[in-house]
Structure 1
Amino acid sequence: MSFKSVSGKINIEEVRSLSKLTGEALAKKEARDRELEAIIKGEDDRLLLVIGPCSSDNEEAVLEYAKRLAKLQEEVKDRVFMVMRVYTAKPRTNGDGYKGLMHQPDTDAAPSLINGIKAVRNLHYRVISETGMTTADEMLYPENWPLVEDLVSYVAIGARSVEDQQHRFVASGFDVPTGMKNPTSGNLNIMFNGIYAAQNKQSFLFNNEEVETSGNPLAHAILRGATNEYGKNVPNYYYDDVLDAIALYEKHGLKNPMIVVDTNHDNSGKQYLEQIRIVRQTLINRDWNEKIKRYVRGFMIESYLEDGRQDQPQVFGKSITDPCLGWENTEVLVREIHETLGK
């Protein structure tokens, strides 16, 4: 047999009971979720920022970041709505490298997915209950959705997952905004087909049951750039690229059309300071073209306590995966966005 069981069956209700939102924390989350839904539907004209670390590898560093972000959110709340990236499972192109809190709750220890699941829930719970911020995560493993669905307010479907039928169909059952990235090839039709599948009713097998979904009208596009056959990054946030994406949105006739520009990954070539320029250029494009302003209503920004990245978790609050903007640069950028939107 190719599969070896290393744990018993997971008791989902038992795991959820360890970190369950109640009272004021739950009420605040539900209120913010309603605000986020209104933004996706275009009923609230604030700009969405899905912002935070590339990967949430250190609980205390993530919480320190969340506390700072919550304070900044209060300052800019009239024009900017922020959902914090609490990304706990990381896709690896060849399977090597740090795979996130879900796999390895202690970066100095061996992988332990059972403990990882508990650590993931605990981190989302603490960010929400201790700071009032709501959270986003990447849905790398669709079958894990029941383990976090009561905590996560925004889901991203990554570039390597967007073409996968299971991810598309499971996303059709989400009741939260779901950003679907273009694939690493840059083929936008693949992304839009994924959004179409997620927005419509589906029937499939999920966690050993036949299920039907109602469709997720809050599924939308994230432009993250591409990599060509020579390994060179090809950005897709430029003026003409965005207009091409809008044309495809209109061709597919999708609900609640919205584009989020991912300022890192292949748009920046993982040059983290480029995120600042990409935001500035996109805001200029929004001012220049009313259609771009109507569609491009969010940014995804990788940001942590310290600038850059490191190979080992030695510096508190510095990424061990993709390089991120440090807090000082983040604070300046968010305030700049807020000021620009007020002009």
Structure 2
Amino acid sequence: MKQTYDVNVKEFKPLTSPSRMKEELPVDDDAAQTVIKGRRDIENILQGKDKRLLVIAGPCSIHDIDAALEFAGKMKDLREEIKDKIELVMRVYFEKPRTTVGWKGLINDPFLDSTYNVDAGLRKARSLLIDINKMGLPTATEILDTITPQYIAGLLSWVAIGARTTESQTHREMASGLSMPVGFKNSTDGSLTVAVNAMQAASAPQHFLGIDPNGVSSVVSTTGNQYGHIVLRGGPTPNYDPISVGKAQDQLRAKDLLDGIMIDCSHDNSGQKYTGQSFVFKSSLDQRLQGNDRIIGLMLESNLFEGRQDGTCGADQLKYGVSITDECISWESTIDLIRCAHGKL
């Protein structure tokens, strides 16, 4: 009989189960406390109980563990300095969506050599998150692959669902079971309706296919996530201006959803240029200072050094602390912006 399944599949490579990896890379009490407190603080900010500004900043994507830890150390010191007015969380992104092809992140190809050692990538990601949380610094990421949360979600205080996946039923179902607040980005065409619908779906109980902690295919049943919110990232035109923000809040209130808005200072709001992020950050902060305290958060793509570089030259040829995906502002620019915000708040 001719085979009718897996015709285009080259091979299957079994992964270490989530439960086994958690045993091998356990979370200690200090790291767990950072995660839990980070989640509660963000939930309180979303509900207006905590009046501080949430700022999520960090590399567009992680490709160098040493550089990420250096960045985290600097951010931990800054977090302590401004914690009375700002809740600072590190952006630690391991998965990158691709419109066509390209490097898909540390988990997918951790050695930047097209060996796609996903098991090693998951270990690197989990180990890094443990180390950062041990510092007392909460972490945030985008969840792209629906299997990944079983390996790393227990170490995250905030999660994004990206512009390309907010419309996905699978990601909405997954978000309904996540243990932390979830930010839904507006779609790449600028539509907000997709993200509003995603918030509604994620807030409801869902039943879907997934894996359990032992890696067994299962029906996953959830209770719903009440801390979904909008992340404005721009589209064909930016959408961080007061009119766009106001329309978004009106739409959310009409559906009786959380009206807290996070503004992504990068992507289409900055024209994909790192030089535009500071303008978006300052403009959004001004709106908050002028009375819209439901602008609850700002997101920056930031690295040790500004700009980006081509990641195809091989890991040993890369400049240290420079992004290999989207352009990032430097640490110096990051600290200046955040200290400026702290002074004004």
| TM bucket, shorter chain | over 0.9
CA contact (8 A) 2:187 2:194 kept: yes
Stretch moving more, 29-38 or 146-155: 29-38
Match in the other structure for 1:280? 282
Quote how far apart the aligned CAs of 1:338 are: 0.5
- The number of aligned residues is 329
AA of the residue aligned to 1:239 = P
Matched, 1:237 2:246: no
Q: Which runs of 4+ in 1 moved over 6 A?
A: none
Q: Decide which of 160, 172, 175 is 1:171's aligned counterpart.
A: 175
Q: What is the CA-CA distance between 1:9 and the residue it aligns to?
A: 4.6
Q: Is 1:72 the counterpart of 2:81 in the alignment?
A: no
The one-letter amino acid paired with 2:231 is: I
Paired position in structure 2 for 1:230: none
User: Which has the larger displacement, 331-340 or 2-11?
Assistant: 2-11
CA distance in 2, matches of 1:91, 1:320: 14
Residue 338 (str. 1) matches residue 342 (str. 2) = yes
Deviates more, 1:165-174 or 1:105-114: 105-114
Partner deviation per Cα, 1:278-328 (whole Å, 9 max, x = no partner): 11111222233x3x32x2110011000001111135211100000001011
Separation of aligned partners in 1, 2:241 and 2:154 = 36
| Partner residue, 1:310 | 309
Deviations 1:4-63 (CA, angstroms, capped at 9, x unpaired): 333125321111122221133323332333222211222101000111000011000000
Aligned-partner residue type, residue 19 of structure 2: E
Distance 2:65 2:13 in 1: 25
The alignment's TM-score, normalised by the length of structure 2, stands at: 0.92
- CA positional deviation for 1:178: 0.4
User: Contact 2:186 / 2:232 at 8 angstroms: preserved in 1?
Assistant: yes
Deviations 1:224-243 (A, max 9, x none): 0013xxxxxx1010111111
The residue aligned with 1:329 is 333
* Map of 1:98 onto structure 2: 103
Letter paired with 1:14: R
Shift of 1:145: 1.2
- Residue 169 (structure 1) shift: 0.9
Cα distance in 1, alignment partners of residues 250 and 32 from structure 2? 39
1:137 equivalent to 2:141? Answer: yes
Q: Counterparts of 1:240 and 1:282 in 2: how far apart (Å)?
A: 12
Contact kept? 2:266, 2:273, Cα under 8 Å: yes
| Corresponding residue for residue 121 of structure 1 | 126
1:24 to 22, 30, 41: 30
Residue 214 of structure 2 corresponds to none
Query: Hey, what's the Cα distance between the residues in 2 that align with 1:189 and 1:27?
Result: 36
Shift of 1:273: 1.9
Task: Report the secondary structure of 2:300's partner residue.
Answer: strand
Asked if the contact 2:52/2:86 (under 8 Å) is kept, the reply is yes
Residue in 1 that maps onto 2:90: 84
Judge conservation of contact 2:62–2:68 (CA < 8 Å) in 1.
Answer: yes
Residue 231 of structure 1 corresponds to none
Q: Distance in 2 between matches of 1:89 and 1:17?
A: 23
AA at the equivalent of 2:17? N
Once the two structures are overlaid, the 10-residue window that deviates more, 271-280 or 204-213, is 204-213
Q: Secondary structure at the match of 1:226?
A: coil
What is the one-letter code of the residue matched to 1:218?
Y
Identity %: 37
SS at match of 1:214: coil
Instruction: Give the CA deviation at 1:176.
Output: 0.2
Query: Which residue of 1 is the match for residue 218 of structure 2?
Result: 209
Which ranges of structure 2 fall in alignment gaps of 5 or more residues? 1-5, 212-216
TM-score by length of 1: 0.92
| Paired position in structure 1 for 2:3 | none
- In structure 2, the partner of 1:150 is 154
Amino acid at match of 2:37: A
Deviation per residue, 1:69-120 (Å, 9 max, x gap): 00000000000001111100101111x2221100111124622111111111
User: What RMSD over aligned residues (CA atoms) do the two structures have, in Å?
Assistant: 1.4
Partner of 2:90, secondary structure, is: strand
Q: Which residue of 2 aligns with 1:252?
A: 255
The answer as to 2:203 corresponding to 1:199 is yes
Provide the rounded CA distance (Å) in 2 between the counterparts of 1:316 and 1:108.
Answer: 17
Q: Which residue is equivalent to 2:230?
A: 221
Aligned-pair CA distance for 1:213: 1.2
Q: What's the secondary structure of 2:190's corresponding residue? A: coil
Distance change >3 Å, CA 26–CA 211, structure 1 → 2: closer
Matched, 1:15 2:21: yes
Give yes or no for contact 2:58–2:300 (8 Å, CA) kept in 1: yes
